[in-house]
Amino acid sequence: MRRLTLEQRLHPSVAIRALSPIAATLITILAGSAMFYFLGYEPLGTLRVFFIDPLTSVYGISEVLLKACPLVLIALGLAIGFRANVWNIGAEGQLTIGAICAGGIALAIGEKDFGFTLFIMVILGALGGMAWASIPAFLKVRFNTNEILVTLMLNYVALLLLSYLVHGPWRDPFGFNFPQTALFHSSAMFSPVLPGFRVTGSIFIVIGAAIIAWTIVTRSFLGFQMAIAGKAPRAGLFAGYRDNKAIWLGLLIGGGAAGLAGMAEAAGPLGQLLPTISPGYGYTAIIVAFLGRLHPIGVVFGGLLVSLIANGGESAQMYLGMHSSLSQIFQGMLLFFVLAADFLVFYKLKLVTR
């Protein structure tokens, strides 16, 4: 009798690890084309609007980079936590608190130009995100509280806090009652990399963060300890690594990266605080982290791809009248297929005769 069985691959090769997200992307594109077809759009033309058109102009590329920056930055931080089985779903809230902290100091300084306002904002943004992430870390370490739920609940709390600030005490007195703060002074903002484009100097922070994350993950003892905490917690315990350290580091790194991303949004494309700082970057970054197989280099490519889809969705909305939520569906499908493709990384189908 012959039957199919599963065999675990103990050491998946680098090639198959890298190929699986690419395969998942291709399958997503196929499934997406089918979806376009059933919605009554011409698939090839629509795919061109989604994936090619944004890359045909310098402005388009700058917009892709603009959205990729927060996604990559947040996903780099999240991936380090996910590797250690620390499930931080609260990047959206940590981002918001980072923006609030950095924005608060920018508003307090106002029109004075010290020359290092932006530097202080960077520090406060990261610290704000870390502080917000330290709540679930503390509760997890001290009381064993599920970090998924705590980080998620804190997202809602952070958004409500921001809403309170921009509707109340921080509202621009000359803003015609709109829920927004005054515009930041130019010394409290990143300047564009090229005049006329929206992508700002914060891109260098993202590049720096990618290099640091790569070093932590692949070249440091710390990264090794965190990986052990995720893969074989008991082995880690016997070797004397404390689980608590992985929880604290995982959440603080993720929170700091998200806070920095929030600060860069406020001090970049927004230039002020609004009731929403991000269109869900904190959640989309989860997709990016998995698309990048939790590896810093993968995350960079994943962030670029997801940003491309988001920008493509905007052009599709503009030129084809598609609803903007289609790119969200696309991103969701992408994550489904990435996870499904993992199956072929870790298992081998075998035809057995017996």
* Helices and strands, counts by H and E, the chain: 13, 2
148 vs 193 by CB, closer to other proteins:
148
Contacts of 52 (CB under 8 A, 6+ apart): none
Question: Is the distance from CB of 91 to CB of 256 less than 8 angstroms?
Answer: no
Min dist CB 213 to other proteins, Å, is 19
Both tokens of 91, joined, read 């990047």
220 vs 325 by CB, closer to other proteins:
325
Interface pick for other proteins out of 100, 150, 203, 249 (rule CB under 8 A) = 150
Question: Is the distance from CB of 104 to CB of 340 less than 8 angstroms?
Answer: no
Q: Is 335 an interacting residue with respect to other proteins (CB under 8 A)?
A: yes
Q: Which stretch binds other proteins (CB under 8 A): 25-33, 56-64, 65-73, 158-166?
A: 158-166
Contacts of 154 (CB under 8 A, 6+ apart): 90, 93, 132, 135, 136
Question: Is the distance from CB of 20 to CB of 338 less than 8 angstroms?
Answer: yes
109 vs 148 by CB, closer to other proteins:
148
Contacts of 77 (CB under 8 A, 6+ apart): 91, 209, 213, 253, 254, 255, 256, 257, 258
Min dist CB 69 to other proteins, Å, is 20
For tokens 């929403």, the residue is 276
Q: Measured between alpha carbons, how far is 202 from 195 in angstroms, rounded to an integer?
A: 15
Footprint on residues 162-181 left by other proteins (CB under 8 A): 163-164, 167-168
Min dist CB 143 to other proteins, Å, is 4
Closest residue by Cα to residue 317 from 308, 307, 326: 326
Quick one: DSSP state of residue 101?
H
Interface pick for other proteins out of 45, 110, 208, 332 (rule CB under 8 A) = 332
Q: Measured between alpha carbons, how far is 263 from 348 in angstroms, rounded to an integer?
A: 45
Min dist CB 284 to other proteins, Å, is 8
Min dist CB 64 to other proteins, Å, is 20
Q: Measured between alpha carbons, how far is 69 from 63 in angstroms, rounded to an integer?
A: 10
Binding-residue total with other proteins (CB under 8 A): 48
61 vs 161 by CB, closer to other proteins:
161
Give Dmax (Cα) for the chain.
82
Q: Is 214 an interacting residue with respect to other proteins (CB under 8 A)?
A: no
Footprint on residues 310-329 left by other proteins (CB under 8 A): 323, 325-329
Q: Is 16 an interacting residue with respect to other proteins (CB under 8 A)?
A: no
Min dist CB 8 to other proteins, Å, is 8
Q: Is 156 an interacting residue with respect to other proteins (CB under 8 A)?
A: yes
Binding site for other proteins (CB under 8 A): 5-6, 87, 89, 139, 142-146, 148-150, 152-154, 156-157, 160-161, 163-164, 167-168, 283-284, 286-287, 290, 323, 325-333, 335-336, 339-340, 342-343, 346-347, 352
